Amino acid sequence: MKKKPNLILFGIDSLRADHMSLFGYDRLTSPHIDEYAVGGTSFSHVTSPSIPTTPGYTSMFTGMDCFGTDVVALRHEGGLGAHLKTLAEILGEQGYNTTCVGFSGNPASRGFQKYLDFEGWGSWEQGRSPKAENLNAAAIPELKRLAGEDKPFFLFLRHMDPHAPYLPPRPFERIFYAGNETDPANRSLDPVYSFKPFRDFHASWFPPNCTDADYVIAQYDGAIAYMDACIANIFSQIAQLDLEEETLVVIDADHGETLADHGCYFDHHGLYECTLHIPLIFVWPGHVPSGLTFDEPCYMKDVTPTILDLLGVNPKPKIKFDGRSLVPLMSGQPWIAEPETYITEATWMRKHGWRTPQWKLIHALEPDFHFKPEVELYDLVADPGENTNLAEAQPDVVKLLEERMLAHIERRTKATGRPNPMYTNLNWHGHGSGPFKTSQQAYDTMYIGSPRQARSLQAKELRTQRGAKKL
């Protein structure tokens, strides 16, 4: 009996699509991924509607939206619901060996048979951070082991390089920057140093006396380029192990990143396009069309249905996914896009909204620590950078979008039989104080002081996943 095809899934934390040369960025940040993607199909208009990491990856691994997962917060309390089945669980039941690299301890990673970890953080004091090389040191021997087994495998690689702290090793820290990052006349980082909730965290990995925001952005881009070079090593291993014809390779991200955007510096909160817009690539010679890029809107919930369709795997019992397979679109069949979507965040602020091809509505469910207005409205066609809030100038548009959002919430809560998790997850911030009453309260309460604390927010401790061996 012919062995089923393998799956290698790259989940790249905090990678915004518009900073990849693959999608037109003017810096050559992803040359190896760009070249590899030519052998497959890319999607340029992919949204991660529920940010950040935990809800994003939960949607990706289950094929469900936030109503289907009940997961909207980074600090999701408890595990995934029993009504969900993850991609790792589905493939495990189909006889796959399943290994997760770099994502232990997060509820979204439930169901893998084996977990491996690597050092994916860092600080200025610790020095330049070889995150992707650390991942390769764990992943490549495991890839070789899996390739030698008589079972098909699913290998998930969670890359951490674009995630703060941005500390790419030499020479990548200066390939996109030739200035003086400590120029005292440059005041572009003043707002960062004056924002109490994050200033100590940023100071822990910025160079001493750093003044230039462009330098920090160049570190983000350099981290992408460094990771891209290390990912090329895995591409080479796939070829050397003669796995190309029998392995589906998928590349995506859990969310994007705010850099010097919207006052949400060097993090991934704020329901702006820089945070929602992610890459998605499928490569499998002979099975996925090569050299194609699609601009139709698609979403994180579409990833698992597409993977299962390509692999020819039918879950038992059958699962009614909220997402859809993208295989018909790749194959040139008639395709009706889903142009509007509900968007949520519960990391440092609790907000939701509604996105259409032209409009973006953002509505705060409680006061936020950036002292932003309760309602924001952006014309994505006329103002793609989302720099001008039109909420007061366009009240009729606000009303229309609010009505469409609330109607969607009502439909989905009826369909699932469960309340909107954005309304029920009131300890999203982990402080046990309930919703914030004022922005000042949020500002005084929310604080991240070090990379160690940032890491603890993603996984309070690396622990054994239920039913899996922790290595």
Query: Are 355 and 234 part of one and the same domain?
Result: no
Please, which pLDDT band fits residue 464 given cuts at 50, 70 and 90?
A: very low
Total length of the chain = 471
Whole-angstrom Cα Rg for the chain: 21
Q: Is residue 221 part of a domain?
A: yes
> What was the pLDDT predicted at 254?
97
Q: pLDDT by residue (tens digit) across 233-261?
A: 999 999 999 999 999 999 999 999 999 88
Please, which pLDDT band fits residue 458 given cuts at 50, 70 and 90?
A: low
- Picking from 35, 15, 39, the residue whose alpha carbon sits closest to that of residue 232 is 35
- Domain end position, chosen among 339, 354, 369: 339
- Residue 457: phi and psi, rounded to 5, are -70, -30
Query: Are 261 and 380 part of one and the same domain?
Result: no
The per-residue DSSP string of 75-116 comes to: T--S---TT---HHHHHHHTT-EEEEES-TT-GGGTT-SEEE
**Residue span of the structural domain in which 429 resides:** 341-445
Query: Are 306 and 410 part of one and the same domain?
Result: no
Query: Are 429 and 329 part of one and the same domain?
Result: no
CATH number, position 415: 3.30.1120.10
Query: Are 358 and 304 part of one and the same domain?
Result: no
Our CA dihedral for 344, 347, 350, 356, rounded to 10 degrees, sits at -20
CATH number, position 35: 3.40.720.10
CA 84 to CA 69: how far, in whole Å? 7
Rounded average pLDDT over 454-470: 43
Our CA dihedral for 199, 51, 230, 449, rounded to 10 degrees, sits at 20
Helix ranges (H only) for 179-271 are: 190-193, 196-203, 213-240
- Domain end position, chosen among 304, 339, 374: 339
Close Cβ partners of 251 (under 8 Å, ≥ 6 residues apart): 10, 12, 33, 37, 279, 280, 281, 283
Q: Is residue 439 part of a domain?
A: yes
Q: pLDDT by residue (tens digit) across 353-397?
A: 999 999 999 999 999 999 999 999 999 999 999 999 999 999 999
Query: Are 162 and 88 part of one and the same domain?
Result: yes
CA 285 to CA 266: how far, in whole Å? 37
Q: pLDDT by residue (tens digit) across 301-328?
A: 999 999 999 999 999 899 999 999 999 9
- Domain end position, chosen among 311, 339, 367: 339
Q: Is residue 469 part of a domain?
A: no
State the burial class of residue 303 (Cβ atoms within 10 Å of its Cβ: 0-12, 13-18, 19+): buried
Query: Are 182 and 310 part of one and the same domain?
Result: yes
- Picking from 6, 7, 4, the residue whose alpha carbon sits closest to that of residue 252 is 7
Query: Are 331 and 349 part of one and the same domain?
Result: no
Q: pLDDT by residue (tens digit) across 76-121?
A: 988 999 999 999 999 999 999 999 999 998 999 999 999 999 988 7
CA dihedral sign of residues 442, 443, 445, 450: positive
The per-residue DSSP string of 264-296 comes to: -TTBS-SSSHHHHEEEEEEE-TTTS-SSEEE-S
Other residues' Cβ atoms within 10 Å of the Cβ of residue 289: 15
Q: Is residue 48 part of a domain?
A: yes
Minimum mean pLDDT among 8-12, 25-29, 121-125, 344-348: which range? 121-125
Q: What's this model's pTM, rounded to 2 decimal places?
A: 0.94
Rounded average pLDDT over 285-292: 97
Query: Are 47 and 139 part of one and the same domain?
Result: yes
Query: Are 16 and 141 part of one and the same domain?
Result: yes
* Cα 207 from chain centre: 26
Q: Is residue 414 part of a domain?
A: yes
> What was the pLDDT predicted at 172?
97
Query: Are 109 and 165 part of one and the same domain?
Result: yes
Q: Is the separation of the CB atoms in 161 and 132 below 8 Å?
A: yes
Query: Are 238 and 349 part of one and the same domain?
Result: no
Q: Is residue 391 part of a domain?
A: yes
CA 379 to CA 309: how far, in whole Å? 36
Please, which pLDDT band fits residue 454 given cuts at 50, 70 and 90?
A: low
- Picking from 81, 138, 133, the residue whose alpha carbon sits closest to that of residue 104 is 138
What region does 114 belong to: left with phi over 0, alpha with psi -120 to 50, or beta? beta
**Residue 10 pLDDT greater than 50, yes or no:** yes
Kindly state the tokens that stand for 317. Answer: 């019992």
Q: pLDDT by residue (tens digit) across 388-414?
A: 999 999 999 999 999 999 999 999 999
Q: Is residue 1 part of a domain?
A: no
Rounded average pLDDT over 423-450: 91
Q: Is residue 468 part of a domain?
A: no
| Number of domains comprising the chain | 2
CA 75 to CA 86: how far, in whole Å? 19
> What was the pLDDT predicted at 468?
36
